Structure 1
Amino acid sequence: MDYSIRELRQNESKVLNTFLYEAILFQKGFLYHQKRL
């Protein structure tokens, strides 16, 4: 695979928060009804 790294755009910060929430909490088997991050 070929990856490139770029700076985060301002309108992408909310989607990044969602990605991190899912990657950290769902990977470990946690299930939360409300996001606390």
Structure 2
Amino acid sequence: MMFLLGMLLILLALFSLWNHLDFLGINIRYLLDSIKASRLLK
């Protein structure tokens, strides 16, 4: 049960961080595309 709670908290933190980055105007889609590109290059 505690494990599930921890996972939920981590997901919530990631979600709020994601929203915060989006609020700051960082182009998240561009960031994701660059991550995908770097994975393809490896």
Which TM class, normalised by the smaller chain length? 0.3 to 0.5
Report the structure number with the largest CA radius of gyration.
Answer: 2
Which of 1 and 2 has higher RCO (CA within 8 Å, sep 6+)?
1
Which one has a larger percent helix, Structure 1 or Structure 2? 2
Tell me the TM-score normalized by structure 2.
Answer: 0.36
Tell me the TM-score normalized by structure 1.
Answer: 0.37
